[in-house]
């Protein structure tokens, strides 16, 4: 099966920032990640958005729930390896029906150099679905923008828990 080629013409982090701002996202939580670095920088520079650097990904789920209770929309950025840290805490959003939007950069897929990333990569989608999170996936910049727009509407307008998986090929090969 041939994988789609990323479109270098689309600045997808800037487009994601625009989409999330249009969805009135006022809080962004993250564990530092190279795949999200440009989006993290844009949100960190935005005086209208509260950014939270996390020590572990599950903290972002509690922050998103608290933000919603306080009247603010939130997005949680993480890498697929961090999904395993969140499974138990995801029950807070699922059972409490708090909107949750997660953007998950995938590792352990296309051109991965680190074999430790592969097992959680295979478990990411099934684990999220098993706990009750709806999973959407994007492999190209065009699909990613449209998918995040749809995911934000579904999360915030219908009190759903959504994870958008961002294919590793779109992120690009890690250079060490």
- pLDDT per position as a tens digit, 32-54: 988 999 999 999 999 999 999 99
Phi-psi domain of 118 (left: phi exceeds 0; alpha: psi -120 through 50; beta: other): alpha
**Which tokens in the block code for residue 171?**
């992120």
Residue with tokens 């910049």: 141
- pLDDT for res 125: 97
- Quick one: pLDDT at residue 176? 56
Task: Name the more confident of 4 and 124.
Answer: 124
Q: What domains are defined for the chain?
A: 12-171 (3.40.50.970)
Residues of the chain above pLDDT 90, percent: 78
Helices marked H in the chain: 12-22, 37-45, 58-69, 80-86, 90-96, 118-131, 141-158, 168-171
Cβ-based burial of 46 (10 A; exposed 0-12, middle 13-18, buried ≥19): middle
Q: Examine the pLDDT at 15 and tell me if it is beyond 70.
A: yes
Name the β-bridge partners of 53: 30
Is residue 138 over pLDDT 70? yes
Task: Please state, in angstroms and as integers, the Cα–Cα distance from residue 162 to each residue in 2, 45, 116, 147, following that order.
Answer: 27, 25, 25, 11
| pLDDT tens string 90-128 | 999 999 999 999 999 988 788 877 888 877 899 999 999
What span, in angstroms and rounded, lies between the C-alpha atoms of 86 and 149? 23
The answer to whether 27 and 52 have CB atoms below 8 angstroms apart is yes
């Amino acid at each position: 099966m041939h994988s789609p080629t990323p479109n270098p013409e689309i600045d997808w982090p800037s487009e994601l920032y625009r989409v999330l701002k249009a969805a009135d996202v006022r809080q962004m939580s993250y564990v530092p990640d190279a795949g999200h670095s440009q989006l993290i920088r844009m949100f960190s520079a935005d005086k209208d958005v509260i950014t939270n650097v996390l020590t572990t990904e599950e903290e972002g789920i509690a922050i998103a729930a608290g933000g919603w209770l306080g009247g603010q929309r939130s997005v949680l950025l993480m890498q697929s390896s961090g999904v395993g840290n969140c499974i138990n805490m995801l029950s807070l959003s699922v059972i409490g029906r708090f909107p949750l939007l997660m953007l998950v950069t995938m590792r352990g897929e296309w051109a991965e150099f680190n074999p430790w990333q592969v097992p959680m990569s295979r478990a990411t989608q099934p684990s999220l679905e098993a706990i009750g999170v709806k999973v959407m996936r994007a492999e190209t910049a065009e699909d990613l923008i449209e998918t995040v727009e749809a995911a934000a509407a579904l999360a915030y307008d219908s009190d759903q828990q959504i994870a958008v998986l961002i294919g590793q090929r779109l992120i690009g090969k890690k250079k060490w």
